[in-house]
Structure 1
Amino acid sequence: MLNMAAVVVRNTYGENLIGVLSKTGCRKLVILCHGFRASKEDRIMVNLSAALTVHGVSSFRFDFSGNGESEGPFQFGNYRGG
């Protein structure tokens, strides 16, 4: 049974990073990190999450700071900063 939940993680800079946790009941979890100038809602991220779910694996996809729904300025995607 799939259970999706919105997750907010506050980073060390006080910015809220927004993610989606797709729980299948399995202890295995894959963390999906999007690429430059992308977001957790890009088709490939959503499709990867769905494919993992079909195989019973939980996933967590999120937006880096300055991307998608997450807070913070977009500076080189903020991959170094937070």
Structure 2
Amino acid sequence: MEPIVLVGLFLVVPTIVIGAAFLVHQDAKRLGMDDYDRWFGIVVLTGGTGLLLYLLERDDHEAEQTVPADAEFPLPGATVGEEGSESNE
């Protein structure tokens, strides 16, 4: 392989991994996960494997979020929260 190709690979691949880790960090923070810094480190250290693990954990975290009490059709298995449960009698 040419040296310029090797230099390119050593610059491009880490840039993509760090960019993906930054996006994971921002997404986990937006979702309210407590360990968003840990996910940044996991994705940086493991690359694509950490990204896949995050996506699986993200789905679990979204599924655990509560549904408002006034939801007409809550999803099966969702816990109904106390939001909007005041009665107007």
Q: TM-score, structure 2 length as denominator?
A: 0.29
Q: TM-score, structure 1 length as denominator?
A: 0.31
